[in-house]
Every structure is written in structure tokens, then in C-alpha cells.
Amino acid sequence: MPRFGAGEISAGFSHKPVMNGVQRCENGALKNGVIAVEKVHNGGLYKRPFNEAFEETPMIVAVLTYMGYGILTLFGYLRDFLRSWKIEKCHIATERVEQKDFVPLYQDFEDFYTRNLYMRIRDNWNRPVCSVPGERIDLMERFTDDYNWTFKFTGRMIKGVINMGSYNYLGFAQNTGLCADASAQALNQYGVGMCSTRQEIGNMDKHEELEHLVAKFLGVEAAMVYGMGFATNSMNIPALVGKSCLILSDELNHSSLVLGARLSGATIRIFKHNNMQSLEKLLRDAIVQGQPRTHRPWKKILIVVEGIYSMEGSIVRLPEVIALKKKYKAYLYLDEAHSIGALGPNGRGVVDFFGLHPRDVDIMMGTFTKSFGSAGGYIGGSKALIDYLRAHSHSAAYATSMSPPVAQQIISSMKCIMGEDGTIVGQNRVEQLAENTKYFRRRLTEMGFIIYGNGDSPVVPLMLYMPAKIGAFGREMLKRNIGVVVVGFPATPIIESRARFCVSAAHTKEMLDAALREINEVGDLLQLKYSRHHFVPLLDRPFDETTYEESED
């Protein structure tokens, strides 16, 4: 039910010195039925306001959501019974008759959720896009006559759908303009694929140019690029840590980080999302107790966090993480897949957003699939780190190198953001994204929806909660020519289904207003305006041993 509260950290607030520089101040007064959020100052670490809100789930909504899943589960068992007796047609994949005596490849129950819950709302995903994935898209119209088990195309297109779901934060997903022209020229010169790895005969001048540009953009000594963002995490973490090492991972980290941590063989411990008390307790215990059984010191301690969490819309409390990392002599791995290009006055990610020095982060990772309208990922850091990864990373040794037109798209868009193309187009896009984000979030909150995350995050989760409303919201929005992404279990906690909007610099105010009008109408239709504006401060207690003892459960 309730998981988080809301917290604001203000740089200009006076305080008395306390442990770790945190002082709790007085609660704000009740104004217009809204509980004012507490302001907390953490030792001068923050140079700008930091606002995050996670409004607690209303009790009645939580109860009804659990009841909804319970009813769906009961009907699922009933339908499975009817299928087993051939009363209802069975669409489920089954083992072949000649393999009945074999050990089954999968247990039938493992597919229970997919066939009985997911299938009811499957039409909301995998819709075929047949245009440039920009601020507006065209979709192929389809229908089903067997309750979403299969789909057929009508031959018609749904044109001009406002795209509120893709990660095109800066609007570089285009087929016209300087970036597209440069990529087309690279395609003519180099072709599409390299058919080799970087270590063999797949290293090109475009790759070298891109890596130097990425290092300059991030403000680090060196960088290395990869053809796939997911593999950048999953294949490089095992190269950095191994047995007798400790990984401290945020509980909401992306699956690529989770996979990389598991493949590494290191010990993994989880801290509560963005909770510095939980992280410091793990760091302190790790140093005091050492490795299990032997109690020898850990070879390395690696803290793994993300810049923007793509399901929550929250931003990492990076100044505090860096302070703890320095205090306990740990290493920091920062995944900026969603924050690079989308945050900061210069579009250089969460480090730029907080006004920090890039060298305070040991391993800077990010992807080119979002703000740069391309594909692949990167690792940035010291020259020694990058030289080590060139020799030991599986992605470097075994993966085919990045396609030249893809590399050129990144080069062109990154130069545009940096202003090296001789224009201010990139800077204008960064500023427009920030403006659109604040406007869109403010309007949704005013309408009465529960909106998660940070006020500066272009990822905007709108809470739906109930399973039946996941499909209903997606369908109703498409009827109104708005394309949205709806997300439910297991990608989110079971009672926290949501619609996830991604704001883009390419969205005009007219587009946002049109989307907001339809969201407001659908919110009234489906009764989604749950907000009572009752927030509980996230950082409402000082850092001390008593706090740890009280919050262990």
C-alpha cells in the first residue's frame, strides 16, 4: 500500500549542525486542504530544490485492487478447469503428444498469469508503428476475434496519434534534418553493418570520433561505446566486480543492472529506493562485518544506482550517494539511460542537474536509445578504467561493433546538444523539455491524479491501480488518438499499475493541451482521480542509529 512519501530539499534553508548534516524543520501549515511538505537541508549538498512526491495509495483503492486481482484469479482457475475438460477452447501452448513422457520444458502453472490476466489486456501492447517514431505516429489498425490470442490487420492506419509513450526526450527521432542527412551520408559511405567486433576488423574512424565526443560531453577522461544498451550493463558489471566483491543495488534498478550483478558472482545486497539511511547502514555493516563466514574485508564495494528510474519517475539523490561513497571509500556505478540528455541545464545528465563534478562518479553509463534518437550505450570514466574494459569486457570482445549510420546519428545529435553544430537548436530543445515537463506534471496534479516522481523528471507515472483499468485506459486513450504506455505487474508492484507518459521537447503546447484534455476526460470516465494531496515526508528523520533500528523491517 503506501510505499513512499514526498520530500523537498532546499539549498537556502538554515539549519543546526547534526549527524550527517541533516536537520528536521517544522511542518508547513495546512493550506487549501493540502499538507505542506517538510523541507530538509543536508549539509549544503544540494544547490537547487529537490522535489519528489509519492502519494500514498488510498485505503479503499488498495482494497478494491486486491479484490480485483482475487476475482481475476478465481475466474482464471475456473477457465483452466473448463479448458481441461474441453468445454472452453484451449489456446494454450502444450507439450506434443510424443513428448508426454519427457520432463516438461515449463510448468503449466508458470503461464497462469499470462493466459488468464495478461491476455485480457494484451491488445494494449505491441501495436505496430508504421511511421517515424516522433511526436506523432501512425499505427496499423488491428482486431481480434479470439480474446487477444491472435490479431488480424484491417489494412487501415490510425494516423496522427500523439506519441506520449516513447523515450524521444529531445525529439531527435526524425527522418529529416541535419542528423538524418548525416546518417544517410554515413550509410552511403560505410554501409549498414560491420560484420566484426571492435577488437578484430570492426573498429572504424566513426567509433573513435564518437568515443572522443562522448568523453568530452561527459567531462571524463575516456569513454567506450557499445552496440546495445542492455548489454552495456549486463556484460560490463561482471568485468568490474566478481567473487569477494559486494554490490549495493537500489531496489528499483533496471533488469539489465540486476542481470549484470547476478552474472558477476559478487554478493548483492539491496537498499530501499533512494533511501540514504538504508544505504549507509549497508555500507557500515559491510565494512564492520566484512565477508560472510571469513569476515575478511571486501575486495570492492560497488554502489549501483540510476539517474532517472523509468517506472517511478524519480531522480537519484546523487549528492548524498557521492557523500556516502567518499565517506566509506566505495565505488559508484551510475546508469544514466534516461537522464543523459534529458536532465541538467546543458543536457548532460544528473551530474549536470546537481552541478557536481563528473569525476566524483567512478563509472558513468548511459544509452543512446532515448535522448539521442539512436541505439547503443556507453561507459565513461578514467582512462585506466576504459583501457581495462577494452581488454576484459565481453561486449567489446564478442559483440559486433556499432553500425556506422547509428554512430553518426549519435555524433550529430550530441554535437547539436553541445552547440558544436554552430546553432542553439540543441540548447533550445533541452530548455523546451524542461518547460514541457513542469507544465505537464503540474496540470496532471491539478486535475487530481496521483503522479509519482520528481518534478523535473520527463518520465511521468499516472497511477491506475486496478487491473481492469490498465486495459481500459490504454484503449480509451487510443480512441482519442493518444498513444500511451500502460504498465502493470510484474513490471510494477501488484497494486501499483500505472500509465507512464514520456514528455518530449518535440511536443508543442497544443499537443500537450490536447493530450491533457483527453486524459482529464478519461480520468473522469474511469474514476482515476484518486489524489487527496496527502503527502508524508520521505526524509522526515535524522540519520542516527535509532533510526536504523526502527526502520529495519
The per-residue pLDDT for 386 is 97
The per-residue pLDDT for 49 is 83
User: Do residues 161 and 478 lie in contact, with contact meaning Cβ atoms separated by under 8 Å?
Assistant: yes
User: Do residues 350 and 365 lie in contact, with contact meaning Cβ atoms separated by under 8 Å?
Assistant: no
- Residue 6 falls inside a structural domain: no
Count of CB atoms situated within 10 Å of the CB of 348: 21
- Residue 61 falls inside a structural domain: yes
User: Do residues 497 and 311 lie in contact, with contact meaning Cβ atoms separated by under 8 Å?
Assistant: no
- pLDDT tens track for 286-297: 999 999 999 999
User: Do residues 445 and 37 lie in contact, with contact meaning Cβ atoms separated by under 8 Å?
Assistant: no
Cα-based distances in Å from 493 to 120, 315, 467: 19, 19, 12
- Residue 382 falls inside a structural domain: yes
358 and 277 both lie in a single domain: yes
The per-residue pLDDT for 9 is 46
Domain that holds residue 414: 178-418
Q: What is the number of domains present in the chain?
A: 2
365 and 451 both lie in a single domain: no
The per-residue pLDDT for 96 is 78
Q: pTM of this prediction?
A: 0.88
344 and 320 both lie in a single domain: yes
pLDDT one digit per residue (tens) for the chain, 553 residues: 444 444 444 333 333 333 333 333 333 333 333 333 434 445 578 888 888 888 989 999 999 999 999 999 999 999 999 988 989 988 877 777 788 788 877 777 778 888 899 999 999 999 999 999 999 999 999 999 998 999 999 999 999 999 999 999 999 999 999 999 999 999 999 999 999 999 999 999 999 999 999 999 999 999 999 999 999 999 999 999 999 999 999 999 999 999 999 999 999 999 999 999 999 999 999 999 999 999 999 999 999 999 999 999 999 999 999 999 999 999 999 999 999 999 999 999 999 999 999 999 999 999 999 999 999 999 999 999 999 999 999 988 899 999 999 999 999 999 999 999 999 999 999 999 999 999 999 999 999 999 999 999 999 999 999 999 999 999 999 999 999 999 998 889 989 999 999 999 999 999 999 999 999 999 999 999 999 875 544 444 333 333 333 333 3
Cα-based distances in Å from 436 to 36, 171, 232, 455: 25, 12, 30, 11
242 and 366 both lie in a single domain: yes
Count of CB atoms situated within 10 Å of the CB of 294: 8
Burial of 195 (0-12, 13-18, 19+ CB in 10 A): exposed
- The answer to whether the peptide bond before residue 345 is cis (omega within 30 degrees of 0) is no
152 and 244 both lie in a single domain: no
The per-residue pLDDT for 95 is 74
Detail the DSSP E strand segments found in 227-362. 246-250, 267-271, 301-306, 331-335
190 and 291 both lie in a single domain: yes
Tell me, letter by letter, the H, E, C secondary structure of 185-218: HHHHHHCCCCCCECCCCCCCHHHHHHHHHHHHHH
The per-residue pLDDT for 532 is 85
Residues 6+ apart with CB under 8 A from 139: 127, 128, 129, 130, 157, 158, 161, 478, 483
434 and 383 both lie in a single domain: no
Residue 472, all three cell numbers: 481500459
| Full DSSP string of 57-76 | PPHHHHHHHHHHHHHHHHHH
- Residue 345 falls inside a structural domain: yes
The last residue of a domain, from among 383, 418, 453: 418
- Residue 17 falls inside a structural domain: no
User: Domain containing 453 — which CATH number?
Assistant: 3.90.1150.10
- Residue 466 falls inside a structural domain: yes
Region at 370 (left for phi over 0; alpha for psi -120 to 50; beta for the rest):
alpha
| Residue 99 DSSP class | G
The per-residue pLDDT for 534 is 53
437 and 376 both lie in a single domain: no
204 and 258 both lie in a single domain: yes
393 and 296 both lie in a single domain: yes
- Residue 24 falls inside a structural domain: no
Q: How many CA atoms lie within 13 A of 288 on its CB side?
A: 6
The per-residue pLDDT for 4 is 44
- Residue 19 falls inside a structural domain: no
Residue 455, all three cell numbers: 518534478
